Amino acid sequence: MASITRPPHAVVVPFPGQGHVNPLMHFAKILAARGFFVTFINTDRMEQRIFKTPNDSAAVSHQLLQQGLQIRFLAVYDGLPPDHGGVQAIDEYFLATQKLGPAMVRILRSTANEAPQITCIVTDCFMACTHHVATSLAVPRVVFWTYCASAAIALANSRTLMDKGYIPINVKEARRPENLITCLPGKIPPLIPTDLQTFFRVQDTADPMFQVIMYESEIQNEADYVLINVFEELEGPEAAEGLSKGYPALPIGPVFLPDFLQSTKSSVSVATSLWEEDLDCIKWLQTKALSSVLYVSFGSIAVMSMKQLQELALGLEASEQPFLWVLRPDIAEGKAAVLPEGFTERIGERGRIVQWAPQLKVLSHPSVGGFLTHNGWNSTLESISFGVPMIGWPLWAEQFHNCRFCKEVWKIGMDFESRVENENALVSREEVEMVVRAMMEGPQGNELRKNAARLKEAATKAVMAGGSSYRNLDKFTRDMTARANSVIE
């Protein structure tokens, strides 16, 4: 008998949104660099946004292979009409993803002769359909959390929180001491009800998104292995244990950072941005002083009212601070923003407005000294990794959790008090000016930058050889390689 080692084959399935495709694409490259064969499955809608022509995905796979990274891309039809609003019609979008399991099984079986035997399904935490895929193919289901550990624990235990009366959320009473949430597993700080998903703020439990998130939270626990896009030093080495039900639960992030730290001009970048990045803004940043620029971006999904965008603009103008502002074409509730009359002329070269920015390059630039952000986990973790303190402007999902933790737990952030009290409140230009000035030129901002610099160092150490995330990835690699191994005559 001769012993051979087969490469592990991970099927990686992101939720079809940029904030989920990005981290799972980074993780796919990490796995491929560790000897895995990776199949990356998108919906056809997302595939067409990322790869503009049918041949693009094959070309990228070939380029990756030239660097020794075996990643192939497959796509399944999402069942929605071409003109569907996607994540802007979020409940329909989620319900469509929950039906994708059989299509994924069919495409994996029909292409089985093109790849090694499947070792595991690495699934986004919001792709409940992969439970069917893993069961049908008799392989482990590895749940990849695109949240930090404490937010993930809260979501995975939604049923418990509902049974104890924390859900639906009473926002007005959330901060009362008697409403502190201390019943969750894992060693995490006490939560308040408004740290939980904003979809639970509706009072009608028959609400479609309320039901969608409750269902997803139950399937999130149907795992054989858990990986979290965070590093142990941020939340403590034992926080992740709250996501385990007898199987490993490992912090392995920030998953974007190894590739960023090791990137070269010759490395292959898989462009998952849904808008064209304005690279000229980097040249503009180079003209600004150290830590002087406020970066303003609300991610790939969030929208605001036109009135709120105008108040924000006037607050940035009044602050007299340099700023780089990402204004997506659909930021104003699906429409382009209309800025106050004369605004661009008045700010001149002090401000730069772009439709989309290369965020990693921006946050890592030495002229950036603060980040006004929606506090999505990707943006929050990237800001932490580059030592940039944040002004939180959370809008939905778990962003209120991330914002509060940045301010009260990790001591690297500020927020707007009006939004803490009422998520629908209009943040005035006066409050914007006051908070921006405090971040960019006040002693509090300087202290936050010092704290953020310490976390930047910890994040970098975590992903380097011997660091906590690196060691956890070693364990995952060993476990999956052992499963893939076979002995044949």
CATH of the domain at 406: 3.40.50.2000
DSSP assignment of 388-453 equals: --EEE---STTHHHHHHIIIIIS--EEE-HHHHH-TTPPPPHHHHHHHHHHHHHSHHHHHHHHHHH
Catalytic residue flag (residue 124): yes
Q: Of 278, 292, 300, whose CA–CA distance to 361 is shortest?
A: 278
pTM reported for the whole predicted model: 0.95
Question: Which residue ranges of the chain lie beneath pLDDT 70?
Answer: 1-4, 53-55, 264-274, 421, 486-489
Residue 160 lies in a domain: yes
Peptide bond into 168 cis (omega under 30): yes
Question: Does 206 share its domain with 298?
Answer: no
Cα 342 to Cα 298, 304, 313, 437: the distances in Å are 23, 21, 11, 22
Q: What is the pLDDT of residue 271?
A: 57
| Stretch (H or E) spanning 369 | strand 368-373
> Which residues does residue 144 pair with via DSSP β-bridges, in sequence order?
124, 227
Mark whether 247 and 352 lie in a shared domain. Answer: no
Beta-carbon neighbour count of residue 3 at 10 Å?
A: 8
- 252 and 352: one domain? no
Q: Are 42 and 14 in contact (CB under 8 A)?
A: yes
Does 227 share its domain with 101?
yes
Length reported for the chain: 489
- The answer to the question of residue 448 being in a domain is no
Residue 3 lies in a domain: no
Instruction: Judge whether 83 lies within some domain.
Output: yes
Distances in whole angstroms, Cα of residue 352 to Cα of each of 204, 206, 284, 324, 390 = 43, 44, 8, 5, 19
Residues 217 and 288 in one domain: no
Q: Annotated catalytic, 415?
A: no
User: For the segment 351-394, what is each residue's pLDDT rounded down to a tens digit?
Assistant: 999 999 999 999 999 999 999 999 999 999 999 999 999 999 99
The pLDDT of residue 57 = 83
- Whether residues 224 and 295 share a domain: the answer is no
C-alpha 369/C-alpha 414 separation (Å) is 13
169 plus 243 within the same structural domain: yes
Q: How many domains does the chain have?
A: 2
Q: Please check whether residues 476 and 418 belong to one and the same domain.
A: no
CA distances from 162 to 177, 205, 210, 429 (A): 18, 10, 11, 38
Specify whether 18 is located in the same domain as 88. yes
Could you say which of 9, 26, 78, 124 is catalytic? 124
Let me know if residue 2 belongs to a domain. Answer: no
Residue 452 lies in a domain: no
Q: Is the peptide bond before 254 cis (omega within 30 degrees of 0)?
A: yes
The pLDDT score that the predictor gives to residue 489 is: 36
Same domain, 219 and 290: no
Q: Identify whether 455 is part of a domain.
A: no
Instruction: Judge contact between 70 and 38, C-beta under 8 A.
Output: yes
Task: Report the distance separating Cα 312 and Cα 429, nearest Å.
Answer: 6
Of 9, 20, 131, 401, the catalytic one is: 20
Average pLDDT, the chain: 93
Q: Are residues 101 and 225 in the same domain?
A: yes
For residue 418, the model assigns a pLDDT of 83
> To 5 degrees, how large is the angle CA 264–CA 267–CA 268?
145
DSSP labels, 148-165: -HHHHHHHHTHHHHHHTT
Same domain, 121 and 249: yes
Rounded to whole angstroms, the Cα distance separating 29 from 73 reads: 12
Within-domain flag for 274: no
Q: Which domain holds residue 373?
A: 280-441
